[in-house]
């Protein structure tokens, strides 16, 4: 059966190597391919994938929100986030999911860290942040304080998530967010600051004022570790990078398509091989 990922550009996607490794390990008769789809071609591409009876496909930039009108149904989580990253073809009905939520939380749980009852300081308010916030709320975070460069551009986050939990938006250079970061049990970076090739960057964290036992989670997976992770680790903090989230969200998608648990060990092994090249 056919699986794949659509996006533009798509050549950089690491999903094929991970998913095909899991497919081979499970002994399934599936194939996963990367398919470049320009924005203006999205409606016809979705129709074509339906007609070709693809079992499912991943969705990446810039189609995660744009694809929603062309699907028959989307999960509750995807509705709240406003983005779909996984589509399942269920007898001709295309159902959209967002597995980034599970990927983020499950990877954190694997480190024996949970958000339940915890205060969270989160940097960034883009598409990735929305999935992370959804996961944190589902996991029971007591408060989520979001730091951004321009709070006026992040008001959509409040509109989407305020009915579901305690969330506030701050200018990340302001005193109010500094106070929020000081009391945070978990500090999350969802911005691209520190991502290859700009590996010298990081969010404006004042390590002298955060809790000694604060847990740092940077969802960037290249490079690994990021500057934020290195500096946090040097100061004795426990850290987690984005590779585990990437693998886990892919494994959740794999299970939705195949009904079979993915071998996350082989997925991580192949991912690391690609990142090291």
Distances (CA, A) of 247 to 14, 41, 219: 10, 28, 12
Question: Is omega for the bond preceding 251 within 30 degrees of 0, making it cis?
Answer: no
My answer on whether 130 and 187 are in the same domain is yes
Does residue 266 sit within a domain? yes
pLDDT digits (tens, 9 = 90+) for 182-209: 999 999 999 999 998 899 999 999 999 9
Whether 118 is catalytic = no
- H helices of the chain, in order, are 15-26, 42-51, 76-81, 100-110, 127-138, 155-161, 175-182, 227-234, 243-258, 264-276
DSSP 3-state of 171? strand
My answer on whether 159 and 135 are in the same domain is yes
Element (H, E) at 145: strand 143-148
In 3D space, the residue among 275, 272, 267 whose CA is nearest the CA of residue 251 turns out to be: 267
Q: Where does the pLDDT of residue 227 fall: very low under 50, low under 70, confident under 90, or very high at 90 and above? A: very high
Structure letter (DSSP) for residue 64: T
Contacts of 154 (CB under 8 A, 6+ apart): 125, 146, 148, 169
My answer on whether 90 and 43 are in the same domain is yes
Q: What is the pTM of this model?
A: 0.93
Does residue 88 sit within a domain? yes
We report the CATH number of the domain holding residue 135 as 3.40.50.720
In DSSP terms, 57 is beta-bridged to 4, 87
Structure letter (DSSP) for residue 28: -
Q: Where does the pLDDT of residue 276 fall: very low under 50, low under 70, confident under 90, or very high at 90 and above? A: confident
* Positive or negative torsion for Cα 265, 140, 133, 79: positive
Pair 24, 267: CB distance under 8 Å: no
Lowest mean pLDDT among 91-105, 244-258, 263-277: 263-277
- Catalytic one among 64, 79, 255, 272? 64
pLDDT at 196: 87
Residue 267 is part of which domain span? 2-98+244-276
The two three-digit tokens of residue 207, written as one number:
């390590």
pLDDT at 153: 86
Distance CA 96, CA 75 (A): 6
pLDDT digits (tens, 9 = 90+) for 20-71: 999 999 999 999 999 999 999 999 999 999 999 999 999 999 999 999 999 9
Does residue 103 sit within a domain? no
Does residue 124 sit within a domain? yes
In 3D space, the residue among 146, 145, 102 whose CA is nearest the CA of residue 126 turns out to be: 146
What is the spatial order of strands in the sheet that 167-171 belongs to?
167-171, 143-148, 119-123, 186-189, 215-218, 239-240
We report the CATH number of the domain holding residue 261 as 3.40.50.10860
Pair 85, 113: CB distance under 8 Å: no
- Number of domain units in the chain: 2
My answer on whether 70 and 181 are in the same domain is no
The two three-digit tokens of residue 222, written as one number:
């290249």
CA angle in degrees (0–180, nearest 5) for 202-120-128: 60
My answer on whether 154 and 59 are in the same domain is no
* Positive or negative torsion for Cα 206, 212, 214, 216: positive
Distance CA 243, CA 105 (A): 13
In 3D space, the residue among 240, 242, 244, 241 whose CA is nearest the CA of residue 265 turns out to be: 244
């Amino acid at each position: 059966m056919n699986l794949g990922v659509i996006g533009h550009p798509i050549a950089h996607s690491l999903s094929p190597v991970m998913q095909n490794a899991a497919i081979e390990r499970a002994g399934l008769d599936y194939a996963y391919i990367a398919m470049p789809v320009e924005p203006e071609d999205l409606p016809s591409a979705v129709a074509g994938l339906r007609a070709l009876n693809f079992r499912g496909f991943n969705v990446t930039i810039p189609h995660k929100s744009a694809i929603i009108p062309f699907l028959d149904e989307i999960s509750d989580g995807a509705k709240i986030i406003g983005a779909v990253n996984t589509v399942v073809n269920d007898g001709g009905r295309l159902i959209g999911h967002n597995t980034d939520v599970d990927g983020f939380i499950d990877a954190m749980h694997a480190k024996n860290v949970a958000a339940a009852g915890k205060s969270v300081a989160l940097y960034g308010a883009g598409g990735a942040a929305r999935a992370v916030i959804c996961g944190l709320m589902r996991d029971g975070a007591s408060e989520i304080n979001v730091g951004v460069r321009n709070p006026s551009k992040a008001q959509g986050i409040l509109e989407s998530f305020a009915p579901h939990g305690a969330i506030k938006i701050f200018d990340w250079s302001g005193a109010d967010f500094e106070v929020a970061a000081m009391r945070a049990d978990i500090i999350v970076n969802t911005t691209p600051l520190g991502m290859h090739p700009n590996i010298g960057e990081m969010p404006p964290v004042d390590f002298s004022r955060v809790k000694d036992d604060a847990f740092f989670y940077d969802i960037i997976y290249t490079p690994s570790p990021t500057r934020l992770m290195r500096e946090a680790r040097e100061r004795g903090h426990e850290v987690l990078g984005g590779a585990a989230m990437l693998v886990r969200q892919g494994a959740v998608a794999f299970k939705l398509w195949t009904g079979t648990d993915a071998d996350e060990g082989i997925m991580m092994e192949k991912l690391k091989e690609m990142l090291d090249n």
